[in-house]
Amino acid sequence: MHNLSIHTFNQSCYPFIVKETMLPLPNTKYDRSTREKWFPPGHGDVYNALFESGLLENLINQGKEYIFISNVDNLGATVNLDMLYHMINEDSEFVMEVTEKTRADVQGGTLVSYKNKPHLLEASQVPPEHMDDFRAINKFETFNTNNLWVNLRAIQRLVAQDLIDIEPLVTFRTVKNHKVVQLETAAGEAIHLFKNFIGLKVPRSRFLPVKSSSDLFLVQSNLYQIKHGSLIMNPARTTPTIPIVKLGLEFQSAKEYLARFEHGIPNITELDHLTVAGDVKFGSNISLKVCTSMCLIEVLSYAGKLIQMLLRIGNGDSCCERRCSHRPAGRNRVRKQGGYGQPSNLGPLIPVAYAVEPIGD
């Protein structure tokens, strides 16, 4: 066990603003009875919170020079000394890690240039008519991982001079039957305030957020290996992209999730896209492979009998590029007059499970 010192500090608390009057929703100081009228102002508050708490000065007095900031759910965000050395060699005060955008990241903030300085553009700041451009992977190829390396004395200098001026992100909500305004800030937007700022493109393994059971499935699988305390891509994975995994409602609780993977997570080093819905449990020694060589098995219940329909997806095309649905796909669907549907004279068929298996040659 490393000899670690754990420090804590409180973030600020901002009042909701009533949209109609532009006045604070609470009329008293913050306490337990009024907590629903207040909100945390986003991670852009970290600079002021470090300063006001005294922790910033404490760290500087200990001889610390740099701080690494990341989202708590990002398992790929670990201290990398190569990045720190690069920051020192470039005499940079601020480094933001960015990585290649995929279809799963179209809402992620991206660095843009405005008046010859970088700014973090978030989806909430984009006008509706330009949202397609913002989401286009070929136009904005990278996005902010929110892994930030910052010089402590630079933070101290800017906060002491009241120069932390971050563009607020405006959202509208309804609280206590009032339409209110919520103002938040993003820590990455401060990049333009620092000297010798750098946007550093990093491998996708530096951004592994776990917000759902689908995310947990990925990091627990053999897609990653642990090296020096960091998750790295398994060399057996021949493509740099991360599989798109969508686990159904039956996988959302920890108890259900563990029960459905009682024999361990399947081998997914060759997987591109997986969608699972219904009452599905995975056995042992299972390998899941790319969509083009996958079969969606739809188990249907009728009159106490199980009907298995093996439905081939696509004819060599990736379902990631086309579609991946729970409806029968491909030429082997059951034909009815005027289209595709359930077999006649059987009544309604109720989907109860979906799974994926490789198709034999």
Q: Which residues are known to be catalytic?
A: 211
Contact criterion met (CB below 8 Å) for 164 and 48: yes
CA distance linking residue 64 with residue 5, whole number of Å:
13
Question: What single letter denotes the amino acid at residue 268?
Answer: I
Q: Which long-range contacts (CB under 8 A, 24 or more apart) does 262-270 make?
A: 265/217, 265/220, 265/221, 265/222, 266/221, 267/221, 267/222, 268/218, 268/221, 268/222, 268/223, 268/243, 269/222, 269/223, 269/234, 269/236, 269/237, 269/238, 270/237, 270/238
Distance, CA of 137 to chain centre: 16
Q: Which residues pair with 102 in a beta bridge?
A: none
Burial annotation 254-274 (CB, 10 A radius, 16+ → b, else e): eebbeebbeeebbbbbbbbbb
CA distance linking residue 353 with residue 281, whole number of Å:
9
CB atoms within 10 A of CB 155: 25
CB atoms within 10 A of CB 62: 9
Environment class of residue 178 by beta-carbon count within 10 Å: exposed (0-12), middle (13-18) or buried (19+)? middle
